Structure 1
């Protein structure tokens, strides 16, 4: 018990001395940190600080180049999709016209004049739709070519600025867009070729029919052609 009493008295003495020292001198940051460390049992809590990245000209240019390649890729993908859709609709119109022309050729000489005129009206309407679809293809192809050139420039700029990954990604997107558009254009060219072949057959059949009609008129006896 006596030892405990002496210990308590010693602590009170230390506390009173510390209060006197605090009144006489203004504590510095180091002394406050020391007192805090004593209060926390001799340990300091680590406070995390966010490391601010270095914003150099090179890093800012690389970020800008990456943003350009991203936006250019979006432009290219949208224009490629629009071009492919336009080519698909054009191909459908060509296939419909080919079917109509083949049916017309197969029915030559078997239909009345009224029926032939009806088929011709349908074919004329289909040709008008074909022209509209062809204009859509030309318009979207012009946009697609512009997007392609923009992406090529963006890929070159990214490579020059040091953004190699963005440049490689951009070149991959360009190759993919080229292959997709070329596949659709290849199908369209094949249908155009078939349409020209059918058109040639139609012209040939019409010429043969006109010649046959002219010959039949020449074979009519002269007596039937005289007026009474």
Structure 2
């Protein structure tokens, strides 16, 4: 402030009064030197303010806080007082936020159980197709294998049937978890809608539809594999009956036990 007053005195007291004596070089030079000193003083004051810790802290404020800050000049210091908008913390808003958190958790649970169920059905279908391949190989070799070879291939088939059974149990276990996830998502979507969080409700319903569509698709693959296995089993029974009817009744004692067993 003192610098501004000095500068004002320079401009009004010397420059204006000295207009009639403008040709006097000494006075003009004195006025110019004094004006330059005023400018330098203002520059020094500005540098001191910009390098002050308060100013540096103000510059480090976020963009939103700086836009809402009100600066007050007290003597030679600067006080920055940020004003932040207080959010609405009513019961309705808190319930709405909580319902959104519930839908997020429910969607995560649904995503994980859907992934597990799809993977379980995929492995189950693969095990079924492997068993189908073994059954077909056995059908084509009926009457051509020695007893040792017959027992060997049957050991492989029995082991694969155990694998199919284990995969089916895994599907049933993950199916139960997935159904629980479906129920939880339905409840959370309803809660979100009632609390006013329509976007969370819509997102949850979309995830439900996608999960149900994916699971139905993989279930269809498993059903087709089971159908093929049943057809292969029927083909095996028919082929075995044809083989038994084609041989002499007196040679039944020479038929390997595997051909006569019921599976």
Tell me the TM-score normalised to structure 1 length.
0.74
How many residues are paired up? 183
Separation (CA, whole Å) in 1 of partners of 2:110 and 2:151: 45
Provide the C-alpha distance between the structure 1 equivalents of 2:122 and 2:151, rounded to a whole number of angstroms: 29
Query: Could you say what secondary structure the match of 1:109 adopts?
Result: coil
Q: Does 1:125 align with 2:159?
A: yes
Using a 3 Å threshold, how does the CA distance of structure 1 residues 161 and 217 change in structure 2: closer, same or farther? same
Structure 1, unaligned stretches of length 5 or more?
8-35, 220-228
Tell me how far apart the structure 2 counterparts of residues 61 and 74 of structure 1 sit (CA, whole Å). 20
SS at match of 1:55: coil
- Aligned partner of 1:70 in structure 2 is 104
> Counterpart in 2 of 1:208?
242
SS in 2 for 1:47: strand
Instruction: Please name the residue that 1:224 is paired with.
Output: none
- What SS is found at the alignment partner of 1:120? helix
Q: Tell me the residue number matched to 1:142.
A: 176
Taking the TM superposition and a 5 Å limit, the aligned residue runs for 1:33-112 are 39=75, 47-112=81-146
Please list the CA deviations of residues 79-108 of structure 1 after superposition, one character each: whole Å capped at 9, or x if unmatched: 000001101110110010000000111111
Aligned residue in 1 for 2:191:
157
Q: Secondary structure at the match of 2:81?
A: coil
The CA deviation at 1:45 is 6.1
- Taking the aligned partners of 2:210 and 2:169, their CA distance within structure 1 comes to 24
CA RMSD of aligned residues (A): 2.4
Structure 2, unpaired ranges of 5+: 1-5, 10-71, 253-263
Distance 1:59 1:211, change over 3 A: same
TM-score (norm 2): 0.65
1:166 aligns with 2:227: no
Q: Distance in 2 between matches of 1:150 and 1:38?
A: 60
The residue aligned with 1:17 is none
Equivalent residue for 2:250? 217
Residues 182 and 54 from structure 1, CA distance in 2 versus in 1: closer, same or farther, beyond 3 angstroms? same
Highest relative contact order (Cα 8 Å, sep 6+), 1 or 2? Answer: 1
Q: Deviations over 1:139-166 (max 9, x none)?
A: 1011101101110111111001110000
Deviates more, 1:201-210 or 1:145-154: 201-210
